[in-house]
Amino acid sequence: MAKGKVYLWHIDWPEEVNFIEAYYVLFLIKLAEKKLGMKYRRILDLACGIGRHHKYWREEGFEVYGVDASEEFIEIAKERNRGFEKYYVVKDMSEIDYSEEFDVVVSWYTSFGYLSHEENKRVLMNIYRALKPCGIFILDYPVKFLEGVHAIKHSEEYFEIEETKKISEYTLDYSGVLYRLSGENLIKVDELKLKLTIYPPQVLKSMLEEIGFSILLVLANRGARRVKNFSLPDLIETGIRRLEWVVYKSPQT
């Protein structure tokens, strides 16, 4: 999660959603293991938020580490993952300095793209350096953000009004206000403002390959289809809104 206030609805997502998302990531890891002939065990969840997937990954035998720029998120993650507090660190993703320590790095729920272009590239380089040879980076990232004002229902109690406005070729101004329903009244709970860069798939692919990553596979809309054509108009025309990238570090590194 990018720097900013904590959105309390992160805590209130249904547990079945956490379960499904956690096991979808595990599915991607298993696909990579099969394709690369590897066995992975050590995961770094980068911009981990409150660590809601971690217990499921640990139940499958993985050693899980979480890093987030938000001290509040990390405190909640420690509370949710009692006994594993030492595995959580408060740090901006542009400042991580691991060297070949992880088999898998995960960046989920659009947690990449909130920094300047140069800082975003540094994040990708940091991830590459953090991975062991043949390690994988799993990135969940939107194809395109819709401009305008939108209402999002997060639960029966909470909903959000978000507004996005394009300010440059790839970058949006984002603002969101979280409300809680109390009878017939609306109570403002939290507010977040930030800039988000949504790189077109072809641009992101070039950035990853320039750093040294090889593309293993790219799936769309939570595994609904495999993507080989990265043309933005074609992806939008076929109803694809999100891509799940699985890329790997060369074994020769």
233 burial (CB, 10 Å; 0-12 / 13-18 / 19+) is: exposed
> What pLDDT, in 10s, does the model give residues 187-197?
777 776 777 88
Q: CATH code at 190?
A: 2.30.18
Residue 97 in this model has a pLDDT that exceeds 60: yes
Q: How confident is the model at residue 147 (pLDDT cuts 50, 70, 90)?
A: low
Q: Are 130 and 94 in contact (CB under 8 A)?
A: no
Residues 101 and 156 in one domain: no
Q: CATH code at 57?
A: 3.40.50.150
Average pLDDT score over residue span 73-89? 96
> What pLDDT, in 10s, does the model give residues 159-199?
566 667 765 666 767 676 777 777 777 777 777 677 788 89
Q: How confident is the model at residue 210 (pLDDT cuts 50, 70, 90)?
A: very high
Residues 21 and 76 in one domain: yes
In a domain, 1, yes or no: no
CA angle 163, 164, 169 (to 5 degrees): 170
Question: Is the C-alpha dihedral spanning 90, 208, 220, 105 positive or negative?
Answer: negative
Domain range holding 103? 8-143+199-249
Residues 29 and 138 in one domain: yes
Q: What is the number of other CB atoms lying within 10 angstroms of the CB of residue 216? A: 17
Q: Identify which of 228, 204, 209 has the alpha carbon closest to the alpha carbon of residue 110.
A: 204
Query: What is the distance between the alpha carbons of residues 77 and 43, in angstroms, rounded to a whole number?
Result: 15
Q: What is the number of other CB atoms lying within 10 angstroms of the CB of residue 203? A: 15
Residues 84 and 115 in one domain: yes
According to the model, what pLDDT value does residue 149 have? 60
According to the model, what pLDDT value does residue 1 have? 42
For the whole model, what pTM was predicted? 0.85
> What pLDDT, in 10s, does the model give residues 226-239?
999 998 888 888 88
Residues 114 and 38 in one domain: yes
Report the amino acid identity of residue 159: F
Q: Identify which of 32, 70, 78, 2 has the alpha carbon closest to the alpha carbon of residue 218.
A: 32
In a domain, 138, yes or no: yes
Looking at the structure of the chain, the number of domains it has is 2
Q: Identify which of 2, 8, 1 has the alpha carbon closest to the alpha carbon of residue 191.
A: 8
> What pLDDT, in 10s, does the model give residues 47-60?
999 999 999 999 99
Residues 192 and 208 in one domain: no
Q: Where in the chain does DSSP place strands (E)?
A: 42-46, 63-68, 88-90, 102-107, 131-142, 148-153, 158-166, 171-182, 185-197, 213-220, 225-226, 242-249
89-93, 113-117, 154-158 — which is least confidently predicted?
154-158
In a domain, 3, yes or no: no
41-45, 79-83, 154-158, 229-233 — which is least confidently predicted?
154-158
According to the model, what pLDDT value does residue 124 have? 98
